[in-house]
Amino acid sequence: MPHLDEAFLDSAESLEALDSRGSLRALATSGAQVRRAIVAAREAGIDRVAGGDRPRSVLVASLGGSSVVCDVLDVLAEPGSPVPVTTRREAPLPGWIGPLDLVIAVSLSGRAQGPLALAAEAARRGASLLTVGASDSPLADVCARGRGIHVDVASPAPTSRSALWSMLTPVLLAADGLGLVDCSEAELERVADLLDERAEECRPSSESFVNPAKVLALGLAETVPVVLGDGALTGVAAGRAAAMFARTARIPTTHGSLPDAASQVVACFDGPFSGAGGAAPDGGSDLFADPFLDGPPAPQLGLLVLRDHPVAPGAPDHLDALEAGRLADAVVGSARDAGVRVWEVEALGGHPIERLASLIAMTDYVATYLALGLGLDPAVSRHVTELRDRTS
């Protein structure tokens, strides 16, 4: 199993030296990203998106590090949106998109082929267009020719993964103006404050025994991770976490959300990565195992459960939340009985976007500390660079 150097994680200077593009610094600016994006969206005329008639449908296009924008809008709009909200990563644009519809295309560089092609086709068909990305980019040019609204991403970021809130905020403001979600500027300001608090809690200078992101990184590094959300909202955070663990920390990670993923996750507790193979009953290392006679310890399953904020009794969805909590408790109990190491992270805040932000921010820090603790630069992958060279 990989070894995570705790002393290295506790050295802010060592972390900064390895983090060549300032990924940790970029994550710490998440709150500032929200505030700057609010201003940029206002200056771009985001209110004009909802200035006329409500569109017949909304399609959101993003991929790679910005693909979670699609997932967030989808989960927030799904319960009560008056119009259909769909997501798309790649062309072609669905045949039913036309002048009565709105297409939102998101790309930090403004050059991602999927969103760019979808935006260009939407403009050709006369659909309303909102784009978010770099200024003076092909995406901005397509938007200008289609007489749409383009919001510049002004905040510098080493990767699209660390610029999430610069890209997501304008989309949420537009959706709020259209009545698709309840996510006003005031609510986003509270999100910014929460992200600032998370940045302080998970700062590099905070020692590993009090820094919750470093604690999780140290534990997960010794496991084969599974990230499980206890519902639809936390399922989006689980998908983002798995993507960050794979792309940033280079650790293959599976994910799912309850209730759908309960059986497939619990079934893994019978397999070769559960408490068997030289592990102690509590999922830790067997103190009496001899690495020369017994061989190296087998990789152990680790379960990271993302829990939503408890719903107050009397709330409309209290019974559904209670049932979801019982199922999550049952999965956690089964995991511990099987010798699987378990960690739980509970969402903070009251509004859905606040709760989601608290979970995403935590797992983003965990993934970045995982990479650094394993001696990897979070923003630079040799094989990703080679892949781009081979496909360019």
pLDDT digits (tens, 9 = 90+) for 322-353: 788 899 999 999 999 999 999 999 999 889 99
261 and 374 assigned to the same domain: yes
The boundaries of the domain holding residue 168 are 25-193
Which amino acid, one-letter code, is at 90? E
% of the chain beyond a pLDDT of 90? 73
Between 184 and 392, residue with greater pLDDT: 184
Mean pLDDT of 205-214: 94
**177 plus 33 within the same structural domain:** yes
Q: How far is CA 94 from the centre of its chain?
A: 26
Do 66 and 164 lie in one domain? The reply is yes
170 in Cβ contact with 148 (< 8 Å): no
pLDDT tens sequence across 189-198: 999 999 999 9
Whether 16 is in a domain gets the answer no
Do residues 211 and 263 share a domain?
yes
Q: 269 by DSSP, 3-state: which?
A: helix
User: Containing H/E element for 105?
Assistant: strand 102-107
DSSP string for residues in 64-82? GGGTHHHHHHHHHHTTT-S
CATH of residue 222's domain is: 3.40.50.10490
Question: In terms of Cα–Cα distance, which of 178, 118, 200 is closest to 365?
Answer: 200
Task: Tell me: do 45 and 105 sit in the same domain.
Answer: yes
What band does 281 get if pLDDT is binned at 50, 70 and 90? very low
Average pLDDT value for residue range 83-94: 89
Handedness of CA 197, 202, 208, 212 (dihedral sign): positive
Give 295-308 as a DSSP string.
Answer: -SPPPEEEEEEEEP
Q: Is residue 202 part of a domain?
A: no
Query: Could you say which of 150, 168, 193 is where a domain stops?
Result: 193
The answer as to whether 13 is a domain residue is no
Answer yes or no: do 246 and 378 share one domain: yes
Query: Of 193, 227, 257, which residue sits at a domain end?
Result: 193
Chain mean position to CA 5: 25
Judge if 184 and 214 occupy the same domain: no
User: What total of structural domains would you count in the chain?
Assistant: 2
Strand order in the sheet with 128-133: 85-88, 58-61, 102-107, 128-133, 149-152
Beta bridge partners of 58: 85, 102
- 390 in a structural domain: no
3-state helix, strand, coil in the chain (%, to 5): 50, 15, 40
Res. 277 pLDDT band, cuts 50 70 90: very low
Contacts of residue 294, defined as CB under 8 A and 6 or more positions apart, other chains included, come to: 278
pLDDT tens digits for range 288-324 = 665 555 555 667 899 999 999 766 554 546 566 778 8
Mean pLDDT of 17-40: 95
79 and 183, same domain (yes or no): yes
